[in-house]
Amino acid sequence: MKVLIIEDEQMAQATLARTLTRNYPEMEIVGMTSSVQESVDWLKQNQPDVIFMDVELSDGICFEIFRQVEIKADVIMTTAYDNYAVKAFEQGSIDYLLKPIDPEALQRAVSRIRSRANEAQPDWSSLVNSLQQQIQAAQAPSLTPGKERFIVKFNDKIVPVKTSEIAYFYSEDKNNFLMTSGGNCYVVDASLDDIAVDLDPAKFFKISRSCIVSMTAIGTITKQLGGRLKIDAIPAAPFEMTVSRSRCDEFLDWLSK
């Protein structure tokens, strides 16, 4: 089986290629791409049997690939999204793997591909449109009012932090943090996806996989090459705060309300 890996994180790309080569000798890695455009160009000239495809790429969402080129291969999505994406992929009968990829989950996905080797490919166009609508709906902020405070731990103390005093949440080195408008930083136990559900969508926006920002924390915004937006937050963030390409238009609409 000829395999194409579409993944914009070089380490994840190399790890997956190494795992497949070591454990599945029947799988030949014939290409590795990292963006929508690079993948489209490659697929116009080549036809793999299997594609491992990351959802969020360096220049947009992978669904654009299906709109620009005919896909005849089996597709296994790799994604950092959790519950809602899993349900979407299950409903669409597309195999998926959550990052970091678990060896047993990979084995199950490969087994499914082997078992349907002679089956006809699905209608990717209709399937992808349905999946994108489900994921976008799940990503949309909750319409319910947000909670008034979050409980965090600081050394041996439990600290209640009013939501109105929170500037942004962010993930770094597998930990999640809360930054207050006064510059105090606390570790939070919940994932950013769970936190987003508890926030007022009129006041907070999830700008990327790793950051949720408050309207009041936004200082200036700078357009960058490639379509991303850089935010100079108040207080200053200990990382480069950027809006992912796929969320820029929605973010600007939210900001203007």
pLDDT in tens, 129-151: 766 666 666 555 544 467 889 98
C-alpha 129/C-alpha 45 separation (Å) is 24
Percentage of residues of the chain with pLDDT beyond 70: 84
Which of 107, 139, 171 lies at the terminal end of a domain, its last residue?
139
Quick check: is 144 in a domain? Answer: no
* 159 lies in the same domain as 128: no
C-alpha 79/C-alpha 183 separation (Å) is 32
Which of 113, 139, 165 lies at the terminal end of a domain, its last residue?
139
* 127 lies in the same domain as 187: no
Instruction: Dump pLDDT digits (tens) for 66-79.
Output: 889 988 888 888 87
* 19 lies in the same domain as 92: yes
C-alpha 204/C-alpha 179 separation (Å) is 13
pLDDT for res 142:
47
* 111 lies in the same domain as 12: yes
pLDDT for res 84:
44
Whether 214 has a pLDDT exceeding 90, the answer reads yes
Total H helices, total E strands in the chain: 8, 17
Q: The domain spanning residue 184 has which CATH number?
A: 2.40.50.40
Return the closest-CA partner of residue 80 out of 57, 109, 63, 60.
57
Report whether 244 contacts 56 (CB < 8 A): yes
* 71 lies in the same domain as 135: yes
* 207 lies in the same domain as 236: yes
Which residues form the domain of 72?
2-139
Least confident residue range of 33-47, 145-159, 241-255: 145-159
* 52 lies in the same domain as 161: no
Quick check: is 134 in a domain? Answer: yes
154/223: higher pLDDT: 223
* 14 lies in the same domain as 133: yes
C-alpha 23/C-alpha 6 separation (Å) is 19
153/164: higher pLDDT: 164
* 103 lies in the same domain as 182: no
* 102 lies in the same domain as 183: no
pLDDT for res 218:
96
* 182 lies in the same domain as 69: no
Quick check: is 43 in a domain? Answer: yes
pLDDT for res 37:
94
Q: The domain spanning residue 117 has which CATH number?
A: 3.40.50.2300
* 124 lies in the same domain as 64: yes
Instruction: Dump pLDDT digits (tens) for 169-182.
Output: 999 988 999 999 99
Which of 75, 107, 139 lies at the terminal end of a domain, its last residue?
139
| DSSP type of residue 246 | G
pLDDT for res 119:
67
Quick check: is 185 in a domain? Answer: yes
Instruction: Dump pLDDT digits (tens) for 39-51.
Output: 999 999 999 999 9
Quick check: is 197 in a domain? Answer: yes
247/231: higher pLDDT: 231
pLDDT for res 93:
47
- Looking at the structure of the chain, the number of domains it has is 2
Whether 62 has a pLDDT exceeding 90, the answer reads no
